[in-house]
Structure 1
Amino acid sequence: MSNDSKQGKQHDGDVAFIESLADLLNASNLSEISVKREYGEHDRLTVSLSKHGKTVTMQAAPAPAAPATPAAPTPAMASAAAPAAGNDDPASLPGAVTSPMVGTAYLAAEPGTPPFVQIGQQVAEGETLMIVEAMKTMNHIPSPRAGTVKRILVDDGAPVEFGAPLMVVE
């Protein structure tokens, strides 16, 4: 069982790695990036990204583990988004703060400490709302505007996807 958990964590990191490659491709003068990662004899990841073509190729040797990555956040995201069932999608709200990356959301700096913000709290532009960990790097998510925290849409320790709504600050 620990071997399966280890493989799942490797592939969670692969999603963030692929996203980082895409960001690098968009931010640079490169037109194509190809990377091959070898984890073991039968465990590898091959990624080819092209800016000008429509082709994006990704191969992973243990295929069942890679598709499980997007499915894992679904229960957590569904439960977090459930209060919004009567409203429009939280990501479309004018005060929505979305995740700039794939990773794990943390509402506090470390376990046992108070959260960065709470519902109803006034925040200043640039104030840290939470942390999204990606590839063992803690990325502080700043408030894009001054306002009041209206909703927190993720649980502490929940996986998040790129563009997923994290909070609503109005």
Structure 2
Amino acid sequence: MTKTNNADVAFIQALAELLDANDLTELEVKREYGENDRLNVRVSKAKDVVQTVAAPAPVAAAAPVPAAASPAPAAEAAPADPASDPNAVPSPMVGTAYLAAEPGADPFVKVGDKVSEGQTLMIIEAMKTMNHIPSPKSGTIKRILVDDGAPVEFGAPLMIIE
């Protein structure tokens, strides 16, 4: 689209506000008005990435600890990036995650629960529509990576099922 109109400007401003209101980092929309008239908008913002590195506690000089023994347990405890875990369940959409059917109700699943393929893990609300997120496989819930009512992005890891 070569010309700018006020409706498009207002639309782009609304997208920017939506980005901030839902703590998103990127939004992309493509609109087709006619055969050769379209609007492609991508709104994104840089987020500060804070990485926390766990340092071992200071050790008294009288009790030396072998260097190879310290880092191994920390590495086994949790993978650095849950998104790279092959057992992670990714979010199929952008929206708000709900772990229970309604406020105050029991969550669909808890850590340690056994789930079967197709069982509802949570709900993601997108555009006022409640979308049930099914388990992609049978297994045990090892970790829940999102909080109830938290915004999620497409592809973000939701849970770890082993």
Normalising by structure 2, report the TM-score: 0.59
TM-score (structure 1 length as normaliser): 0.57
Aligned CA distance change for structure 1 residues 34 and 153 (closer, same or farther; 3 Å): same
1:112 aligns to what? Answer: 104
Structure 2 equivalent of residue 11 of structure 1: 18
Percent of pairs identical after alignment?
A: 59
CA deviations 1:84-138 (Å, max 9, x no partner) are 9952311121210010111100000010100000000000000000011111111
Note closer, same or farther for the CA distance 1:120–1:47 as it changes in structure 2 (3 Å cut): farther
CA-CA distance at 1:47 after TM superposition = 4.3
Deviation at 1:58, TM superposition (A): 3.4
Taking structure 1 as reference, are residues 116 and 9 closer, same or farther at Cα in structure 2, changes over 3 Å only?
farther
Structure 2 residues without counterparts, runs of 5 or longer = 1-13, 52-74
Residue in 2 that maps onto 1:40: none
Shift of 1:34: 2.5
Q: Tell me which amino acid in the other structure corresponds to 1:96.
A: A
Q: What is the RMSD of the two structures over their aligned residues, measured on CA atoms?
A: 3.7
- The 2-side partners of 1:47 and 1:143 are apart by 36
Gaps of 5+ in 1: 1-6, 22-32, 37-45, 49-56, 60-65, 79-83
Q: Supply the distance in 2 between the matched residues of 1:9 and 1:108 (Cα, whole angstroms).
A: 30
- Structure 1 counterpart of 2:31, one-letter code: S
Q: CA deviation at 1:167?
A: 0.2
- The equivalent of 1:43 in structure 2 is none
For the 8 Å contact 1:119–1:149, the answer to whether it is kept is: yes
Q: Compared with structure 1, are the counterparts of its residues 124 and 34 closer, same or farther at alpha carbon in structure 2 (3 Å cutoff)?
A: same
**SS of structure 1 residue aligned to 2:141:** strand
Partner Cα distance (1:166, 1:153) in 2 = 5
Q: How far apart, in 1, do the equivalents of 2:39 and 2:156 lie?
A: 23
Partner of 1:34: 31
Q: Deviation of residue 8 (structure 1)?
A: 8.3
Q: Which structure's residues are more often helix, by fraction?
A: 1
Map of 2:113 onto structure 1: 121
Match of 1:130 in 2: 122
Are 1:47 and 1:58, in contact at CA under 8 Å, matched by a contact in 2? no
